[in-house]
Amino acid sequence: MLLTKYKEALDKLPDNHYANIHEAALSEILNYFEVKVTDYLHTGQPTYGVLNVKPGHGKTTALKLFLGSILNNKDKNQEDMLLHNDFGCLIVLREVDQVKEMENFIKKFTEKKNDVRFISSSNYKEVKKHMYNTRFLIISHERFRKMGVNRLEKMEIQPGQLEWEGKRRFIFVDEQPRFDYSATFDLDDNLSWVNAFFKVITRNKESLAPQEKVIIRSTISMLFAMELYKWHDYDMDKPIPLFSEPLNRIPLVKEHENILKRFLELANHYVKYVESGDVVSKFLWFEKLYKGTYNGHIDSGFFENSYHDFNKIICSQLIDYQKLDCPIMILDGSAHISKKAYETYDVEELTSYIDYSNVTIHHRIINTTATSRSGPAYTSLNYVAADIENLTAGNDMSLNKIYPKSDERHYYRIGVVSKEEHTDRYYKNLDEDIRPLNLLNTTGKNDLESAAAIYLTALPTRAALSYKISAISHYSKEELKTLLLTSNNSVKETKAQWFADDRLETIYKEDLLSELYQIIHRSAIRNINRDTDIPIQIYIATKIKPIIADLKKWLPEVEFTEEYVEKTIKIKKALVTDGEKFIKALKEYLGIFPITIGRVSKDKKITDPIKILINNNWEDTAIRSLFIDYFKEHGFDYREILNKNNNGYQKKIFKLVDE
């Protein structure tokens, strides 16, 4: 069996890690690596592929075993010797702790310093001297993205990052990289990127007078204000794509124009000394907008029918990592969902060994949109808190809560998140260079691998701007001429989608469903060897039914349930506030039963609130049972009957329980 070949490498894995290995899944992945890499070494033709195998099958473990074994030169056959002699690679990982873990494992197979190194901002100056001769280089996603941007902008990429002793590196990317090279410019931008360049320019002994700095900042702000001002009376009832024009067409005082041009010259000269990729991107995009080599997209701000501001210019291009001229293999367990992201890559899906027979996903219908979760009342968050309390009351279920970073403080304050959870998840992780776990940061993490019950307090939805940036980067120039950035309710009545343009909606849904899929598979589901007698419960709080319907298509083997949690809580509250007077009137009623609600009292203030509440919710069978149970508790049977004329019309009437 293939794993026999990797026995020595397997023995170096931690015991707890080894126990979770599924041999068939691991063998299939290792075989995939061997075939793809040796094919490249034989042909010299780079390939650009995505290994789509579900989380838990051992993609990252297989990569460790594969690379470690290459350094072990015992009993090599011809193919193995080819790998041993001619193969160098670049490994791209998401988290700092993953980078260190990968390096430490590979070091178990070698004592040569040039066999493996990781690059970080703290050690870059030292490591760059040895990059060309280092066989396996390990970097972060952000550093990889910066390399892609440098190639796009025809800027220098440090020698050795893409080559090993004259040979092109094979690039492994663990999880989907960012594909957008972007920047946004707001009307109220504080221009921190300009300040960063001032510091670099000063550090290199060039001088800009304080007055010149003020002029540069104010001139850039004025250019954006003038460009965006022309849209302030735009007809929002006829949305069309809007684009910026060259900023250098706007007349300036000649002296101010010269000062700005000198700043741009200095910034271009010293851009290589700026460490922040975001700062560099802002500058390069501003220069393109200024010279008119790129037309930015005006964000119309249509999030509500009555809201538009035109206060933002969006710039975005696709990072084509294939231009790095190295073979690329991306390891992504949800690549089958992210079709737009990988449309130029060869996606291969391997066998799934996950048993979903004991998995249930519970749709908890609560309005958990960003708007509903904000504000001083925290109404939405309190509904979620009440649901969690009800689910865990009177049982020993350990429910792992996954929530947006912005909601953590409130959940901690009201006791949904314990002090231990708060400390472990945030402060401990920060001390250990691990990005804290939250709703938008679970991909690639194994923190939940033993969790049999998790609760997503909202959907892992990003800001609308994020999807707009992604869409602008992915679609062609021709397509962008007609791409609307408006939200759906400004154009259509249906609430089935968020964005008016189906192409933008596709970007949003693929990203959201991919995140959901990843989160679900971070639970104990990922442990393929688990005891399937233990049920796995996934709770998702959202009111957006179409997303859950789409999720069902990607998980056809999973059982789904649905419960109107928010509505139930509201109705129970209404029955308490409005029901007390009505029940009192009902008990005091001296007439003949059965009776309809309107005849219980002549005071419509007593009968109308209950009547409206029941009529608006009676068709929902789950909610209907709330009313029936409520009245039964007070001694009354509430039911529907046909009227005397038997014409099919149904009346809801009260009867005494003992009749």
**For residue 294, is it within any domain?**
yes
**For residue 64, is it within any domain?**
yes
Among the candidates 511, 535, 563, a domain finishes at: 563
**For residue 472, is it within any domain?**
no
Regarding whether 554 and 587 lie in a shared domain, the answer is no
| H or E element, residue 183 | strand 180-186
Q: Tell me: pLDDT of 636 over 60.
A: yes
- Distance between CA 487 and CA 53 in Å, rounded? 34
Regarding whether 547 and 443 lie in a shared domain, the answer is yes
| H or E element, residue 515 | helix 502-520
Q: Which of 290, 183, 294, 218 is nearest to 247 (CA)?
A: 290
Q: Is the pTM of this model over 0.85?
A: yes
Question: Over the Cα atoms of the chain, what is R_g?
Answer: 30
Among the candidates 548, 563, 578, a domain finishes at: 563
Regarding whether 64 and 132 lie in a shared domain, the answer is yes
For 494, phi then psi, to 5°, come to: -65, 145
**In the prediction, which pLDDT does 490 show?**
45
Regarding whether 280 and 197 lie in a shared domain, the answer is yes
Regarding whether 339 and 445 lie in a shared domain, the answer is no
Q: Tell me: pLDDT of 541 over 70.
A: yes
The average pLDDT across 497-521 equals 93
- With beta carbons less than 8 A apart as the criterion, state whether 395 and 570 touch: no
- Distance between CA 387 and CA 567 in Å, rounded? 12
- Distance between CA 288 and CA 233 in Å, rounded? 26
Regarding whether 434 and 501 lie in a shared domain, the answer is yes
Regarding whether 579 and 543 lie in a shared domain, the answer is no
The answer to whether the peptide bond before residue 594 is cis (omega within 30 degrees of 0) is yes
**In the prediction, which pLDDT does 431 show?**
44
**Which of the pair, 254 or 97, is modelled with greater confidence?**
254
**Which of the pair, 158 or 560, is modelled with greater confidence?**
560
- The secondary structure of 435-463, three-state, reads CCCCCCCCCCCCCCCCCCEEEECCCCCCC
% pLDDT > 90, the chain: 55
Among the candidates 520, 540, 563, a domain finishes at: 563
Regarding whether 169 and 194 lie in a shared domain, the answer is no
Regarding whether 256 and 245 lie in a shared domain, the answer is yes
The average pLDDT across 544-559 equals 95
pLDDT bucket at 189, cuts 50 / 70 / 90: confident
Cite the DSSP H helix spans in 271-362: 277-291
**For residue 481, is it within any domain?**
no
Q: Using the 8-state DSSP alphabet, how is residue 301 labeled? A: -
- The least confident of 304-308, 384-388, 519-523 is 304-308
Name 297's Cβ contacts closer than 8 Å, sequence gap at least 6. Answer: 241, 242, 243, 244, 313, 314, 315, 316, 468, 472, 480, 485
**For residue 542, is it within any domain?**
yes
- With beta carbons less than 8 A apart as the criterion, state whether 261 and 253 touch: no
- The least confident of 138-147, 237-246, 604-613 is 237-246
Q: Tell me: pLDDT of 239 over 90.
A: no
Number of domains comprising the chain: 4
Q: Using the 8-state DSSP alphabet, how is residue 179 labeled? A: -
**In the prediction, which pLDDT does 619 show?**
86
**Which of the pair, 429 or 213, is modelled with greater confidence?**
213
**Which of the pair, 611 or 239, is modelled with greater confidence?**
611
For 523, phi then psi, to 5°, come to: -75, -170
Regarding whether 409 and 538 lie in a shared domain, the answer is yes
* Per-residue pLDDT tens over the stretch 413-458: 888 887 777 666 554 444 445 556 777 776 555 677 788 999 999 9
pLDDT bucket at 595, cuts 50 / 70 / 90: confident
Regarding whether 533 and 393 lie in a shared domain, the answer is yes
Q: Using the 8-state DSSP alphabet, how is residue 488 labeled? A: G
Long-range CB pairs of 493-499 (<8 Å, 24+ gap) are 496/546, 497/546, 498/464, 499/464, 499/467
**In the prediction, which pLDDT does 323 show?**
96
Q: Tell me: pLDDT of 493 over 50.
A: no
- Distance between CA 644 and CA 637 in Å, rounded? 19
What CATH number corresponds to the domain at position 388? 3.40.50
Instruction: Find how far residue 234's CA is from the centre of its chain.
Output: 33
**In the prediction, which pLDDT does 237 show?**
63
**For residue 309, is it within any domain?**
yes
Range of the domain at 134: 2-178+322-349
Across the chain, mean pLDDT equals 87
**For residue 482, is it within any domain?**
no
**In the prediction, which pLDDT does 306 show?**
47
Q: Return the sign of the alpha-carbon dihedral for residues 391, 406, 368, 184.
A: negative
**In the prediction, which pLDDT does 430 show?**
44
pLDDT bucket at 305, cuts 50 / 70 / 90: very low
Regarding whether 443 and 392 lie in a shared domain, the answer is yes
Q: Tell me: pLDDT of 119 over 60.
A: yes
**For residue 300, is it within any domain?**
yes
Name 31's Cβ contacts closer than 8 Å, sequence gap at least 6. Answer: 2
Q: Tell me: pLDDT of 497 over 80.
A: yes
- The least confident of 384-393, 431-440, 502-511 is 431-440
* Per-residue pLDDT tens over the stretch 168-181: 999 999 999 999 99
